[in-house]
Amino acid sequence: MNLAAEGRVGPVIGQTFPLQEAADAHRSLQARTAVGRTRLSIR
């Protein structure tokens, strides 16, 4: 039984950055301060 394939669990989005702040998102990842996934928003 694969819970992800069944859509019962998914990734945890820890933070979202606008695309213009991609450098800040990258710094957060490098500093290892991000918990969960880091997402860039293009809207």
pLDDT band per the 50, 70, 90 thresholds, residue 13: very high
What residues have CB less than 8 Å from 29, skipping those under 6 apart?
38
Per-residue DSSP letter, 6: T
Nearest to 43 by CA among 18, 14, 23: 18
16-40 pLDDT per residue, tens: 999 999 999 999 999 998 889 999 9
Question: DSSP character for 8?
Answer: S
What Rg value do the Cα atoms of the chain yield, rounded? 13
Residue with tokens 């950055």: 17
Separation of alpha carbons 29 and 8, rounded Å: 27
Provide the whole-model pTM.
0.70
Amino acid 1: pLDDT: 63
- Model confidence at 3, in pLDDT bands (50, 70, 90)? confident
Output the six-digit token pair for 31. Answer: 């500093």
